[in-house]
Structure 1
Amino acid sequence: MMKMSIKTKILLSTSLVIMVSLILSGTFAYYYFANILKEQAVKDDKVKLRQTARQLEYYSEDIIKFSQNIITDKDVQEYMRKDNTVEDPFAMLSAKSKVIERLKDYIALRGGYIHSAVLIKNDGSICFNLVPFSDDYMRNHLKEDWYPAYEDRKNNYYFSRPHHMDIRGVPADVISCIVTIQSVNQSDKVLGELILNLSMPYFIKYIDEASKGFDDFMWVNQENCIIYAKAGDKKYLDVKDIAAYVSGPPVQEPQLISKPDGYIVLDRSMDNGWKLVSFTSNKRLFQRIEYIFYFFVFFILASLIFIIAVIMPIILNITKPITKLTRKIKEVSGGNLDVEIQISSGDEVEALCTGFNKMIGDIKRHINESIEHEKVKRKMEFDIMLSQINPHFIYNVLNTIIYMARKEKNQNIAKVTDSLIRILQDGIKLGKSGLYTSIRQEMEIVNHYVEIQKFRYSEIFVLEWKVDESLLDCLIPKTLIQPLIENALFHGICPKDEKGTIIVSIFKDEKDIKIIIEDDGVGMDQDMIDSILIGEKHLNSGDSVRHIGISNIRDRLKYLYGEDYRLEIDSRPGEGTKITLKVPFVMGES
């Protein structure tokens, strides 16, 4: 009795889930995904600020290493040690010229961001590569507040605040790296200072790119003086407000400072005292996530994920019987008929399963009946084929008996008759001992047959056995070798009109037993071989007896072992015939 159809169940369940999901998903998704995206935005800002700080720190470390190369230069050290009051003026002028050329060579190596270089000796004399022979400009420029007193410096190197230079009408904004020059021979002796003026536009170009995506951005030096501030109509950052956060030793991880109108990210990981400060307003933050929230998160992720999560158990419960039925059908299609389905769903699926079980039962019954019919059919065919053989060689034996009787060789007639009786006895054992015999028994039957034929053809042929004795108890089909010996004698040796040899070889070949029957008779052409292998019947031109031996064995091998075990013939006219066949290795009772 059907309670409700599958279609009705699915439609009602889907409608209910969609209505509930549309009401709940909006509220849930807003609070859940907004917090996730905000945290991700803050994390991205920290990563971006840290990468910018690492790049600036790389530049500062490169400048310091570069300055060490300059101050340890032999010519620079020699010039800085010279005393202007003692040395010859011309010698000093020559040394200064040489040092200026060295400074120019060094600056050329960092031409991208080093503007100029200045050497200041302890006596106050100045060597400026841009104004070589006039110290007045640089001496006056050093009086400005960007150049700190020596005692105010905490390290042997110092980065100043930005300052402006105007040399021969060419303006430039620079940051100066001031490095103390010590004698390489006396490490405690100070010779003066090296000032490397760094081009601000080079750094500002990089900082401008890094500050995109922030509402405000600052680059602050070790004295909390602004090196760079992002241009904009509204200023969110003030050094005074963040002074408490930017002071102190370096900290590796960026800091987050929440504000009512946004948040500040502060990086003070650089060893030279530089800090980076960014500000992101709430407005910009929600600009980042607003379109994702409305168009992607809400409509696609929230609605679909929620609906699928709720409706999936319902759909699975409804379709579970169908899935189970489908799985069983696949098993049946793969050949497994031992399946049965028990489903009590009260709908169309239950009716399908009942019909499916009945269908499988009918198929199994039909297959079993077909198998039994096929077994009976094959048994009858095999018995018919086997019965074809005996009349064939009995005809020839009787001819021999008649021939000897005419010659009145009574003793020989007795021997022939005895051999014939033994052969006939083996033939009628089919119902008792089955379809197989041992190689030993098959050899005995063949020897009896040969004993009979030698009375008539004693001077015509010789039979040789080459048998692996360990195989004598292995089982092969009955009457397998005798018909082939008979064919070799009558169709190979006899037409030759001279004595011939038949050789039977039996040996193991991997997992099979290989049997080879060879004769040196008249042979046959390829047309005859092909016609025998495809199953055509041939007549013996002498006595009109059907040549059935080879084709009969070929068919029996196919019936008993399948297509992999076949009979092969290798023969040429005048060169004899070689017949090869294989049977599975089966050991019988010894």
Structure 2
Amino acid sequence: MLRRMHRMRLATKHFIFLFLGGLLVFGILAWSTLVQSEQLFRAQTIRDSEIIINRTNDYLNAYLENVQHVILQLVSRSDIFDSYDPMYTEKALQEYADTNNSIISTILFVKDDGTILSNTQLYYDILGSGELPDVFELAKGNYGGINWSEPYWSSLSQYTVAFVRPVGGSQKGIVVIEINLKEFSSRLATLSGGEFQTFMIMSAGGRLVAGNAYSKLLPYPSYPPELPAALNEQLFELPTGTSEMETGNNHLIAVKSNMNRLGWSLISVFDKGYFYGNIGELYATYGRAALLLVIILLAGALMISRTFSQPIITLAKKMDRVQDIDVPSYLSVSRGDEIGDLARSYNSLMSRISMLSKDIVEMEVKKRSYEIRMLQNQIGPHFLYNTLACIASLAYQNKNDQVQETIHSLVGLLSISMGKESSLTTLAEEIQGIEMFTQIQNVRYGNRFTLKLEIDPAVLKVLMPRLTLQPLVENAIFHGIVPTRQHGMITIRAFRNKKGVRIYIRNNGIGISKPFFQKLLEGQPHDDDMNRKDGLGVYNVNHRLFLYFGRPYGLKANGVHTGTIVCVRIPYTTERSQV
């Protein structure tokens, strides 16, 4: 497999990697997005159901607060319960029941002597109520507050819940209100009912308080609505929040609220298929989008691969045909993108290669020419003439010691300058020549300057072109110190740093401006105060350094108020084979 991939063309490999890589990235992103979308959708559906539950709970709490408010109003009516006229009490209770008929089904007042009065006194006298004794016991357990019963069947109010409160600290009797659970369930059904949704309210004792008797999701085999014991227990034991459950063939989602202050819990039940019904459509939509994007990715990968590979193939064929650097073969450029930049870079590269080839040949010719010129003109005739005239003058004055020293320096200088075949010398030999040269000039000018050497021994063996320092020292003497008519100082300091070897030649004579020195380096016309030979000496030194070592090396000068500093920059090279 790897061998087959290795033999494939660039366009084929680019297409395969681009398509598979894009498909992998898209697949991961699409799957991650799908999972997140499903989770968000499920979470949003649950939040919507919880909003419905909270809204229904608010209604339930408001309903119960109204019941409690009616009880508190009743127990505050001392005129009703202090009256000895039963007809007056029955009429007052009837008025309260009629005013709140959507909440209250029956109101009963049980006196301390056991007499029971009701807003439906005739029905009570005929039907009675078997659950009342248990309800009365609730009031005896808490004389200071309102108590409520578990759901029960009443002859007067049918399926109901009773709210009881003593009147006057139980000395006068007990008020009992049986609420209208049928009306209560009907109103809740408008909030939480539907074909795929139903609700129920469970009491603290696990009894069904209210529910939608017409729902198809849960069985209500009888009226009052009672669930099968197993299902009733299953719903009662559901944890608060969202849960899944099964009843027969129905897969349901149950959302249970926290208990309210009566201990009742509201449970909303949804058909699971309806609850998550849109998730299937979400998967189908993603499937269609994935198929479309795979097709687009396939076409795009093929197009991009051909767009990139075809110009590269053309470039490779063009490069294969390159044989003669002097006659480069250029590409036609008509694109403005990176491929066009590559073609332009190739054309520029071929042009630079051709120019560099010509420069190399030209530099080799110039290098040989400068070497010959250096050997022929190392010491000019005027220098020999002046030196010999100086020796004659010393001999005439019988200064034999100085004559001998000057001749010795001249011979040594001629030996260093002309007695070597190589155009390279060490810094030690160059310094030796400088000492001889400055001795001759001091004899000529009468000890007008002092030579100070600060040479690091580590750089004495470094190689450099012959007669690099002498023209610079000569300029320092003739154009820096001699015109001042004062005793001067020439300091030569050499050391090594990270960039190579630095040699500083400083004099305290007349300074030179940096722009003027730059003109000398470029070989441009010179001012009247420096003759053409001296200017060419600086240019030749700088140019020879460039020919031997390259562009970063050469001369650099800084003019100061009391002289000039010239820096010679050369690499640290001790082997002639490296130059």
TM-score between the two structures when normalised by the length of structure 2: 0.55
Task: Check if 1:400 corresponds to 2:386.
Answer: yes
Q: 1:133 and 1:540 mapped to 2: Cα distance?
A: 130
2:440 alignment counterpart: 452
| Change in 2 beyond 3 A, CA 1:445/1:285 | same
Would the aligned equivalents of 1:218 and 1:226 in 2 still touch at CA under 8 Å?
no
2:566 alignment counterpart: 579
Task: Check if 1:277 corresponds to 2:241.
Answer: no
Report the CA distance between 1:445 and its aligned residue.
2.5
Q: 1:418 and 1:581 mapped to 2: Cα distance?
A: 27
Report the CA distance between 1:562 and its aligned residue.
5.1
1:254 alignment counterpart: 243
1:485 alignment counterpart: 473
Report the CA distance between 1:586 and its aligned residue.
4.4
Q: How does 1:268-417 map to 2 (within 5 A)?
A: 274-280=265-271, 288=278, 296-297=285-286, 300-305=289-294, 307=295, 311=298, 329=312, 352=314, 355-359=317-321, 371-385=356-370, 391=377, 393-404=379-390, 406-407=392-393, 409=395, 411=404, 414-417=407-410
Gaps of 5+ in 1: 1-9, 11-34, 64-109, 119-125, 164-173, 180-192, 330-348
Task: Check if 1:501 corresponds to 2:489.
Answer: yes
| Change in 2 beyond 3 A, CA 1:324/1:41 | closer
Report the CA distance between 1:517 and its aligned residue.
1.1
Report the CA distance between 1:502 and its aligned residue.
0.5
Give CA deviations for 1:443-499 in whole Å, capped at 9, x if unaligned.
123223223333323422211101222332334454332221111011111222232
SS of alignment partner, residue 453 of structure 2: strand
Give CA deviations for 1:156-197 in whole Å, capped at 9, x if unaligned.
99987899xxxxxxxxxx999999xxxxxxxxxxxxx9x9xx
Task: Check if 1:466 corresponds to 2:451.
Answer: no
1:240 aligns with one of 215, 220, 226:
220
1:225 alignment counterpart: 208
Q: 2:575 and 2:466 mapped to 1: Cα distance?
A: 14
| Change in 2 beyond 3 A, CA 1:160/1:377 | farther
Rg larger in structure: 2
Letter in 2 for 1:217: T
Report the CA distance between 1:133 and its aligned residue.
5.5
SS of alignment partner, residue 548 of structure 1: helix
2:556 alignment counterpart: 568
Q: How does 1:130-279 map to 2 (within 5 A)?
A: 131-132=75-76, 134=78, 140=108, 149=135, 215-222=196-203, 223-227=206-210, 235-238=215-218, 240=220, 243=228, 244-248=230-234, 250-252=237-239, 254-257=243-246, 264-267=252-255, 274-279=265-270
Would the aligned equivalents of 1:462 and 1:502 in 2 still touch at CA under 8 Å?
yes
Letter in 1 for 2:417: L
Q: 2:459 and 2:190 mapped to 1: Cα distance?
A: 91
1:185 alignment counterpart: none
1:521 alignment counterpart: 509
1:29 alignment counterpart: none
Which structure has more relative contact order (CA 8 Å, sep 6+)? It is 1
Would the aligned equivalents of 2:56 and 2:191 in 1 still touch at CA under 8 Å?
no
2:412 alignment counterpart: 419
Would the aligned equivalents of 1:162 and 1:227 in 2 still touch at CA under 8 Å?
no
Structure 1 window deviating more from structure 2 (48-57 vs 395-404): it is 48-57
Q: 2:269 and 2:459 mapped to 1: Cα distance?
A: 94
Letter in 1 for 2:430: E
Would the aligned equivalents of 1:221 and 1:275 in 2 still touch at CA under 8 Å?
yes
Letter in 2 for 1:397: F
Would the aligned equivalents of 2:413 and 2:433 in 1 still touch at CA under 8 Å?
no
| Change in 2 beyond 3 A, CA 1:544/1:48 | closer
Q: 2:212 and 2:486 mapped to 1: Cα distance?
A: 121
What RMSD, in angstroms, separates the aligned Cα atoms of the two structures?
A: 5.9
Letter in 1 for 2:380: I
SS of alignment partner, residue 279 of structure 1: strand
Q: 1:408 and 1:421 mapped to 2: Cα distance?
A: 20
Letter in 1 for 2:360: K
1:47 alignment counterpart: 46
| Change in 2 beyond 3 A, CA 1:245/1:534 | farther
Q: 1:240 and 1:425 mapped to 2: Cα distance?
A: 127
Report the CA distance between 1:569 and its aligned residue.
2.2
Structure 1 window deviating more from structure 2 (139-148 vs 518-527): it is 139-148
Letter in 1 for 2:243: P
Report the CA distance between 1:506 and its aligned residue.
1.6
Letter in 2 for 1:277: S
Q: 1:219 and 1:484 mapped to 2: Cα distance?
A: 110
Give CA deviations for 1:358-400 in whole Å, capped at 9, x if unaligned.
2455669966776554323223334445556663643443123
SS of alignment partner, residue 383 of structure 2: helix
Structure 1 window deviating more from structure 2 (511-520 vs 562-571): it is 562-571
Letter in 2 for 1:300: A
| Change in 2 beyond 3 A, CA 1:528/1:39 | closer
Would the aligned equivalents of 2:193 and 2:199 in 1 still touch at CA under 8 Å?
no
SS of alignment partner, residue 247 of structure 1: helix
Report the CA distance between 1:566 and its aligned residue.
5.5
Structure 1 window deviating more from structure 2 (468-477 vs 556-565): it is 556-565
Give CA deviations for 1:301-334 in whole Å, capped at 9, x if unaligned.
34443x357x56x975x986875566xx4xxxxx
Letter in 2 for 1:442: E
Would the aligned equivalents of 1:389 and 1:483 in 2 still touch at CA under 8 Å?
no
Letter in 2 for 1:576: G
Would the aligned equivalents of 2:506 and 2:563 in 1 still touch at CA under 8 Å?
yes
1:341 alignment counterpart: none
Q: 1:375 and 1:580 mapped to 2: Cα distance?
A: 27
Q: How does 1:533-548 map to 2 (within 5 A)?
A: 533-538=521-526, 545-548=533-536
Would the aligned equivalents of 2:495 and 2:503 in 1 still touch at CA under 8 Å?
yes
Report the CA distance between 1:503 and its aligned residue.
0.6
Would the aligned equivalents of 2:387 and 2:444 in 1 still touch at CA under 8 Å?
no
SS of alignment partner, residue 240 of structure 1: coil
| Change in 2 beyond 3 A, CA 1:209/1:527 | farther
Would the aligned equivalents of 2:406 and 2:440 in 1 still touch at CA under 8 Å?
no
| Change in 2 beyond 3 A, CA 1:322/1:49 | closer
SS of alignment partner, residue 526 of structure 2: coil
Would the aligned equivalents of 2:53 and 2:268 in 1 still touch at CA under 8 Å?
no
1:28 alignment counterpart: none
| Change in 2 beyond 3 A, CA 1:554/1:282 | same
Letter in 1 for 2:267: L
1:346 alignment counterpart: none
Q: 1:507 and 1:140 mapped to 2: Cα distance?
A: 119
Report the CA distance between 1:518 and its aligned residue.
0.9
Q: 2:445 and 2:482 mapped to 1: Cα distance?
A: 8
Would the aligned equivalents of 2:244 and 2:251 in 1 still touch at CA under 8 Å?
no
Q: 1:176 and 1:582 mapped to 2: Cα distance?
A: 110
Letter in 1 for 2:461: D
Would the aligned equivalents of 1:514 and 1:583 in 2 still touch at CA under 8 Å?
yes
Q: 1:237 and 1:267 mapped to 2: Cα distance?
A: 14
Q: 1:324 and 1:455 mapped to 2: Cα distance?
A: 77
| Change in 2 beyond 3 A, CA 1:53/1:354 | closer
| Change in 2 beyond 3 A, CA 1:525/1:298 | closer
